[in-house]
Amino acid sequence: MNRQVHPDTRADGTYARDQRYLATRITADGRDGYHVEPGRYRLVAARACPWANRAIIVRRLLGLEPVLSMGLCGPVHDERSWTFDLDPDGLDPVLRIPRLRDAYLARDPAYERDITVPAIVDVPTGAVVTNDFRQMTLDLSTEWTAHHRPGAPDLCPHEHRDEIDELNEVVFREVNNGVYRAGRASTQRAYEGAFRVLFDRLDALSDRLARQRFLLGGTITEADVRLFTTLVRFDAVYHDHFKVNRSTLTAMPVLWAYARDLFQTPGFGDTVDLEQAKAHYYRTQPELNPSGIVPVGPADPGWTTPHHREQLGGRPFGDGTPPGPPPPSTEALSAR
């Protein structure tokens, strides 16, 4: 049988994500050549993408909207690049480019790797500074502190940093990327191995969250942001598209209640568009869905129904406060 195989799939059928990113950091001291400066940079994201969704959430929780603008790509792209097709003229209104690829080439005219979101672009030069989504949100929390809103939560508390880093690595390997390792596998053995690892980890996380409201205790941290963006897409996309169908999220009571708790927390659910997520996965991965047909369902399983997680105690924002409503701009979008 002639079948398409994703270029990041190894000879043994396992999926290995290309993690060679532009790792330049934007820091308070500018040690990589880029100082934190209000208005200088633009976050380019897409609501369809779970990795970009992390950056959108963290930016909103920390109240960085006034100092870090955001451009949004549409959910469907071609083999060359994410595009700004949501903007009326097909151009990002700040960068004045039709494709994110243009900003990557402004950084490196010989750039040959994937054009990925999220990316932070230096507006004066039009060049991508970084697309390292792993470090990006940590730096927004720890390097941009002078510009956090009053009441912003501490998403990376120093006393828990080692535990957060360790948990983030496990969740990335076995859940965030775990759904891809199952869905992108090209042999039965590789798929089943990734499937088992994924659900073993989800079961372990369920046990952990049965005892405490959030992953690190009673308040939200970076670790919760990273887990949420996979869970919120699980039933709408991954369960069928990536064949991770042992059970739906809604059939895992603890994780389903935890995901609803976060969804209903300002800064989480109001950044999500599951219709865009479905369009992205089902229309841009022809090796998995040759027809390009986007499923109509599933119906809303009840994201805004009571979750009762408050019975475990804790305060989502600790000593801080929730962010206000999304700004009344093209960035704002009702959650679906």
Q: Closest by alpha carbon to 332, among 20, 39, 60, 25?
A: 60
Sheet holding 41-45, edge to edge: 69-72, 41-45, 119-122, 127-130
Contacts of 251 (CB under 8 A, 6+ apart): none
Catalytic: 180? yes
Catalytic: 111? no
According to the 3-state scheme, what is the secondary structure of the chain? CCCCCCCCECCCCCECCCCCCCECCCECCCCCCCECCCCCEEEEECCCCHHHHHHHHHHHHHCCCCCCEEEECCCCCCCCCCECCCCCCCCCCCCCCCECHHHHHHHCCCCCCCCCCCEEEECCCCEEEECCHHHHHHHHHHCCHHHCCCCCCCCCCHHHHHHHHHHHHHHHHHHHCHHHHHHCCCCHHHHHHHHHHHHHHHHHHHHHHCCCCECCECCCCHHHHHHHHHHHHHHHHHHHHCCCCCCCHHHCHHHHHHHHHHHCCCCCHHHCCHHHHHHHHHHHCCCCCCCCCCCCCCCCCCCCCCCCHHHHCCCCCCCCCCCCCCCCCCCCCCCC
Catalytic residue among 15, 41, 49, 73: 49
Catalytic residue among 41, 104, 180, 191: 180
Handedness of CA 234, 235, 240, 245 (dihedral sign): positive
Active site residues per annotation:
49, 180
